[in-house]
Amino acid sequence: MHALKQMLVAAFVLAALAFATQPAFAEKELAKPSSSAVNINTATAEELEALKGIGKAKAQAIVAYREQFGEFESLDELTEVKGVGEATLKDNMQWLSLE
């Protein structure tokens, strides 16, 4: 009886760990913008948040950069925004446009 109880506890702990280790942001990481590309020169912060690795703060930083320096001339210029690196650019390249 004691062995059965230990097995049940172990099974419960493993199941709990399996669910607990799932990242809270998994849904966002898998989310992609709609079928059309996101124009980084006109997108709102909310639209930019649909991109992988772009949360509220980075989206607002992109909009602020655009307001301060004008339209982006290349997609690579996006890495000039604090917090947006090469990996974020690479992850989203297929979803970005300038027009």
Q: How far apart are CA 89 and CA 16, in angstroms?
A: 35
For residue 57, give its domain range: 24-97
71 part of a folded domain: yes
Is residue 22 pLDDT above 70, yes or no? no
76 part of a folded domain: yes
H or E segment at 33? none
13 part of a folded domain: no
Is residue 77 pLDDT above 80, yes or no? yes
Is residue 86 pLDDT above 90, yes or no? yes
Domain with residue 61: its CATH number is 1.10.150.320
46 part of a folded domain: yes
Is residue 30 pLDDT above 50, yes or no? no
Q: What is the pLDDT of residues 6-19, one digit of tens each?
A: 654 554 444 544 55
CB 98 within 8 Å of CB 39: yes
10 part of a folded domain: no
Minimum mean pLDDT among 19-23, 48-52, 59-63: which range? Answer: 19-23
60 part of a folded domain: yes
Q: How many domains does the chain have?
A: 1
- Across the range 75-98, mean pLDDT stands at 96
Against a cut of 0.85, is the pTM above it? Answer: no
